[in-house]
Amino acid sequence: MAARHRSDNPAICAITFDLDDTLWDIWPIIARAEERLHDWLKDHYPKVPERFSSLELRQLCADIALQQPELAHDRTMTRKEALRLAAGRAGYSEFHVDAAFEVFITARNEVVFFEEVLVVLERLSRRYSLGALSNGNADVGRIGLDRFFAFAINAVDVGAAKPEPAMFEAACRYLKLSPGRIVHVGDDPEHDVLGAARAGLRTVWVNRQGRDWPGGERADAEIKTLAELEAIVERWNSSTPPPRRPTGEPQERLGD
Given the rule CB under 5 A, which of 11-19, 55-63, 76-84, 230-238 is the region that contacts Mg ion? 11-19
Least separation in angstroms between residue 235's CB and Mg ion is 24
74 binds Mg ion (CB under 5 A): no
Beta bridge partners of 15: 130, 183
Q: Tell me how far apart the alpha carbons of residues 68 and 254 are, in angstroms, rounded to a whole number.
A: 43
Given the rule CB under 5 A, which of 93-101, 142-150, 153-161, 187-195 is the region that contacts Mg ion? 187-195
Q: Which single residue brings its beta carbon nearest to Mg ion?
A: 21
252 binds Mg ion (CB under 5 A): no
Count residues contacting Mg ion (CB under 5 A)? 5
| Dihedral angle over CA of 179, 159, 132, 234, nearest 10 | -10
Least separation in angstroms between residue 104's CB and Mg ion is 19
20 binds Mg ion (CB under 5 A): yes
Task: Rank residues 83 and 155 by Cβ distance to Mg ion and give the closer one.
Answer: 155
SS3 sequence of the chain: CCCCCHHHCCCCCEEEECCECCCECHHHHHHHHHHHHHHHHHHHCCHHHHHCCHHHHHHHHHHHHHHCHHHCCCHHHHHHHHHHHHHHHCCCCCCCHHHHHHHHHHHHCCCCECCCHHHHHHHHHCCCEEEEEECCCCCHHHHCHHHCCCEEEEHHHHCCCCCCCHHHHHHHHHHCCCHHHEEEEECCHHHHHHHHHHCCCEEEEECCCCCCCCCCCCCCEEECCHHHHHHHHHHHHCCCCCCCCCCCCCCCHHHC
203 binds Mg ion (CB under 5 A): no
Task: Rank residues 45 and 135 by Cβ distance to Mg ion and give the closer one.
Answer: 135
Least separation in angstroms between residue 188's CB and Mg ion is 5
Which of 12, 14, 17, 18 forms a contact with Mg ion (CB under 5 A)? Answer: 18
Which of 1, 12, 21, 139 forms a contact with Mg ion (CB under 5 A)? Answer: 21
Residues 6+ apart with CB under 8 A from 187: 18, 21, 22, 205, 206, 207, 208
Residues 6+ apart with CB under 8 A from 55: none
Task: Rank residues 179 and 195 by Cβ distance to Mg ion and give the closer one.
Answer: 195
Which of 34, 74, 139, 187 forms a contact with Mg ion (CB under 5 A)? Answer: 187
139 binds Mg ion (CB under 5 A): no
Task: Rank residues 20 and 220 by Cβ distance to Mg ion and give the closer one.
Answer: 20
Least separation in angstroms between residue 246's CB and Mg ion is 28
164 binds Mg ion (CB under 5 A): no
Task: Rank residues 34 and 188 by Cβ distance to Mg ion and give the closer one.
Answer: 188
220 binds Mg ion (CB under 5 A): no
Least separation in angstroms between residue 135's CB and Mg ion is 8
Please give the residue ranges that form the binding site for Mg ion (CB under 5 A): 18, 20-21, 187-188
